[in-house]
């Protein structure tokens, strides 16, 4: 398979694009992370989400420590070819490192960010390995 | 109202964060654009999505030309405070400048990006004013 589809992506100057992970069953937006060319290729080849960690500056197979792997059901690209949208099956039902289903657990309510979602599993327990 | 909630957002060096617009009724991810501090404040104050256009380098009240305004039902922030998620009512049922419901109309199928979604209204007609 040629990799011309990878060239269609409008990688930024630093070689990244944002990738949204959306729960394929519920439609909930779980998280946004970043992908470089290699991360996207590995995601396609493995069927599991692989991101580029900007803080750790390395590839990050989501769930490698926590077990919260994302099985990828569909990959879409937007009209500017600079954002990726993944439909995923979230293993363990937890995408966020805080132990919540989604990273978007803060809602703006009358001038305050309010944490609306419960912690399903404590990070200490998730990352105890 | 103080604006301490705006200070909670982890603005990038260029003062922006990505903002995802999701259809509040269907859960479909419609588009991703960028917001600066002023765009987010105006979004909250007006109840309609206002973005920062990186290409035109100015505030962009979504729908100002097309009529495809986004009524904002909810605003969320992620765990790193650097991505915004809007739940919107998409006026006209079209978010994309190509005349499609969503900007994510290309799906990866066996090594090719395939346009899966119909154009609902031609851009010529949308932007004829």
If residue A78 lies in a helix (H) or strand (E), which one and from where to where? none
Asked if residue A88 is part of any domain, the answer here is yes
**DSSP line for A25-50:** TT--EEEEEEE-HHHHHHHHHHSB-E
Residue B2 has pLDDT above 90, yes or no: no
Sorting pLDDT into bands at 50, 70 and 90, what band is A11? very high
Choose the closest CB to A103 out of B78, B104, B107. Answer: B78
The number of distinct structural domains making up chain A is 1
Could you give the CA distance from residue A24 to residue B65 in angstroms, rounded to a whole number? 33
Asked if residue A101 is part of any domain, the answer here is no
Give the model confidence (pLDDT) of B76-129 as tens digits: 999 999 999 999 999 999 999 999 999 999 999 999 999 999 999 999 999 875
Give the CATH number of the domain where residue B44 resides. 3.10.20.810
pLDDT at B128 (0 to 100): 78
Q: What is the mean pLDDT of chain B?
A: 95
**What ipTM score was computed for the predicted complex, to two decimals?**
0.95
Asked if residue A85 is part of any domain, the answer here is yes
Asked if residue B115 is part of any domain, the answer here is no
CB < 8 Å to A96, chain B: 79
Q: Summarize the confidence of residues A66-88 as an average pLDDT.
A: 97
pLDDT at A3 (0 to 100): 84
Residue B3 has pLDDT above 90, yes or no: no
Residue A100 has pLDDT above 70, yes or no: yes
Smallest CA–CA distance from B8 into chain A, residue: A113
Could you give the CA distance from residue B86 to residue A104 in angstroms, rounded to a whole number? 10
Return all residues near B83 (Cβ < 8 A) that are at least 6 apart. A18, A32, A103, A104, B17, B18, B19, B20, B77
pLDDT at A129 (0 to 100): 57
Residue B53 has pLDDT above 70, yes or no: yes
Contact at CB, B20 and A29, closer than 8 angstroms: yes
CB A119 within 8 A of CB A99: yes
Q: Summarize the confidence of residues A84-105 as an average pLDDT.
A: 97
Q: Summarize the confidence of residues A113-126 as an average pLDDT.
A: 95
Asked if residue B69 is part of any domain, the answer here is yes
Asked if residue B40 is part of any domain, the answer here is yes
Residue B20 has pLDDT above 80, yes or no: yes
Task: Provide the shortest C-alpha distance from residue A83 to chain B (in Å).
Answer: 7
Task: Provide the shortest C-alpha distance from residue A129 to chain B (in Å).
Answer: 22
Contact at CB, A104 and B2, closer than 8 angstroms: no
Instruction: Give the ranges where B21-128 is alpha helix by DSSP (H).
Output: 37-46, 123-126
CB < 8 Å to A26, chain B: 27
Smallest CA–CA distance from A1 into chain B, residue: B111
Interface test with A, best of B5, B27, B79 (most A CBs within 10 A): B79
Asked if residue B46 is part of any domain, the answer here is yes
> b/e for B39-53, b at 16 or more Cβ within 10 A?
bbebbbeeebbbbbe
Asked if residue A104 is part of any domain, the answer here is no
Q: Summarize the confidence of residues A99-121 as an average pLDDT.
A: 97
pLDDT at A2 (0 to 100): 65
Find the domain containing A24 and state its range.
4-96
Contact at CB, A113 and B18, closer than 8 angstroms: no
């Amino acid at each position: 398979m040629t990799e011309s589809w990878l060239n269609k992506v409008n990688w930024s100057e630093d070689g990244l694009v944002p990738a949204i992970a959306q729960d394929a069953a519920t439609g909930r937006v779980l998280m946004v992370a970043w992908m470089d060319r290699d991360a996207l290729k590995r995601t396609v080849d493995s069927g599991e989400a692989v991101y580029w960690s900007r803080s750790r500056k390395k590839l990050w197979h989501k769930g490698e420590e926590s077990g919260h792997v994302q099985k990828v059901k569909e990959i879409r690209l937007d009209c500017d070819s600079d954002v990726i949208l993944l439909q995923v099956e979230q293993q363990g039902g937890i995408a966020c490192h805080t132990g919540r289903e989604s990273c978007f657990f803060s809602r703006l309510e009358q001038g305050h960010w309010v944490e609306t979602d419960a912690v399903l599993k404590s990070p200490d327990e998730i990352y105890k390995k």
